[in-house]
A and B are shown apart, each in its own frame.
Chain A
Amino acid sequence: EAGVAQSPRYKIIEKRQSVAFWCNPISGHATLYWYQQILGQGPKLLIQFQNNGVVDDSQLPKDRFSAERLKGVDSTLKIQPAKLEDSAVYLCASTQIATGPRAGANVLTFGAGSRLTVL
């Protein structure tokens, strides 16, 4: 089975510029997550989608971050305008289903991540 695909792998931008990251989850996975991982810390959830609906975006800085999931498959995370503190790795993950009696058996699978450096 193909894994979670992410692009670009690396991006360097100036502060106040914009950037977009793309994620293609594993086929058939209904739930998609975007995490932010700052160096030396564990991943922090930014947004969770179930199919093409948002389940949780409580930690997404909505004044500058936005995300969408087109037709319940691919997803895009955008930052505009970027700040220095946005420098991090942005990780996309997917799982078959996050709730219900089958949820406990479903492995969370990550992509390789997109490393953002804001100068």
Chain B
Amino acid sequence: KQEVTQIPAALSVPEGENLVLNCSFTDSAIYNLQWFRQDPGKGLTSLLLIQSSQREQTSGRLNASLDKSSGRSTLYIAASQPGDSATYLCAVRPGTGGFKTIFGAGTRLFVKA
């Protein structure tokens, strides 16, 4: 059974700092891994999607990496800003077992001005 874990659960950093959010999953048989952002009271916004054949994806100040063999992904945020404050969720789409997308509990990020 696929399980997704995110560490840390919460993170507070000063503005301008580079930071890394971690995601681990137990079964390497996946179609893809997707990082989402969720603002309080809002739905999920897709940030980056990494297919199983890819190693990383970049969008602006965000870079996500995928290491299937070790069951890990990282989301790197460069030069953090107060507007980056949100909850970041990692989700994997398993390649077996019904193909439902499974989420971690998220990392709550607070960037201090």
A-B CB proximity, top 3 nearest: A42-B103, A104-B51, A110-B44
Q: What are 16 sample pairs from A and B whose C-beta atoms fall under 8 A apart? A: A6-B43, A35-B103, A42-B104, A45-B102, A48-B99, A91-B43, A93-B101, A98-B100, A103-B99, A104-B53, A108-B101, A110-B44, A110-B45, A111-B43, A113-B42, A113-B43
Binding site for A on B (CB under 8 A): 4, 31-32, 34, 36, 41-46, 49, 51-53, 89, 91, 93, 98-106
**B103 neighbours in A (Cβ, 8 Å):** 35, 42-44
Whole-angstrom distance between the alpha carbons of A58 and B100 in the complex?
Answer: 11
Of the candidates A44, A98, A107, the one whose C-beta lies within 8 Å of that of B49 is: A107
* Residue in A42, A43, A99 whose CB lies within 8 Å of B99: A99
Residue of B nearest to A56 (CB): B98
Tell me how many residues of A have a C-beta within 8 Å of chain B.
Answer: 29
A19 at interface by CB-CB < 8 Å = no
As a 0/1 sequence over residues 29 to 55 of chain A, the CB contacts with chain B under 8 angstroms (1 = contact) are 000010100001111110010000001
Report whether A41 and B105 are in contact in the complex, using a CB–CB cutoff of 8 Å: yes
